[in-house]
Amino acid sequence: MIITYFSKNMADLKIKIVPLNTDKHVIITSLNDQRMISIDLQLSSEEKKVLQDLKIGIDGVMGNFLYWGSVDNEDLPSNLKSYIGTVGENNDITADVISRLILRIAKHVTKYFDTKFAWIETKTFLANDTFIIPRWHIDDKFFKPHTAYKLVWAIKGSQTRFGVTEDPTEFSKLTALEIQAGHGTDENMRARKELDQIVNEVKTQRNEAAVLYRSAGENPVVHSEPHMNKNRLFLGIVPGTKAEISEWYERKKQKDIKKGAESRKWYYNTL
């Protein structure tokens, strides 16, 4: 199957932006049409102030939070709050406001897809030059063979970049080479430079808007980490049925066992 990664003129298309509380039918129709949509998070003045004050002081796996389960789980709010309290010198109010914001977003996203189950992931990054040259790629399949959608938003720092290519064959070849070469090697960087030549960036709403996009299935969306000239806290949410999220948990667990990463503090499920 040839993957087109958007239609020919998609880079010039203005991506639709809708409020977080938009009716699910509007969301699904837009995703079927464009495969991605910007979501205005309707941040309150308190949330905006807290986001400005949020501090990120750790990097790597210690700054990751991974959860598989229901967004209504009674322990999820306190676990998110505890996690936010560990990523930097943040007070109790900051941790409480941001954890409630993450939950509010997750509950809307799952509602779009008539489910209460999701994979919720956050990652922290300290400022770095790793992605001055983008790492254009598509996501791994979360659950097979189903179409999957993912919401992404940088709670703090630069937003994820999105792009299109008119050369899917070359894109597939170069992304495979980029992965095989190993992160940061000379060959890896050469592949990333070549990928950047065949991908046109799609402009999306920034900062106070998340992006919901097709991450797996027919015509998944091309994206890359941004250049991180400031510390970053990334949020990703993948909604699905209980069976789908369970499948992703088992696949992810087996991958992380091989890496010795499955015993991280903020790594759990309630399925």
> Domains, the chain, ranges and CATH?
16-269 (2.60.120)
- 102 CB burial (10 A radius; 0-12, 13-18, 19+): buried
Query: What's the rounded Cα separation, in Å, for the pair 92 and 271?
Result: 29
Q: Coil, helix or strand for 138?
A: coil
pLDDT digits (tens, 9 = 90+) for 155-180: 999 999 999 888 889 999 999 999 99
pTM: 0.92
pLDDT tens digits for the chain (271 residues)? 334 444 444 545 578 899 999 999 999 999 998 899 999 999 999 999 999 999 999 987 788 999 999 999 999 999 999 999 999 999 999 999 999 999 999 999 999 999 999 999 999 999 999 999 999 999 877 887 678 999 999 999 999 999 988 888 999 999 999 999 988 899 999 999 999 999 999 888 777 899 999 988 778 899 999 999 999 999 999 999 999 999 999 888 887 777 766 556 777 888 8
The beta strand positions in the chain, using DSSP E, are: 17-19, 36-40, 65-70, 117-125, 148-156, 161-164, 200-202, 209-216, 222-224, 232-240, 267-269
Query: What's the rounded Cα separation, in Å, for the pair 58 and 248?
Result: 27
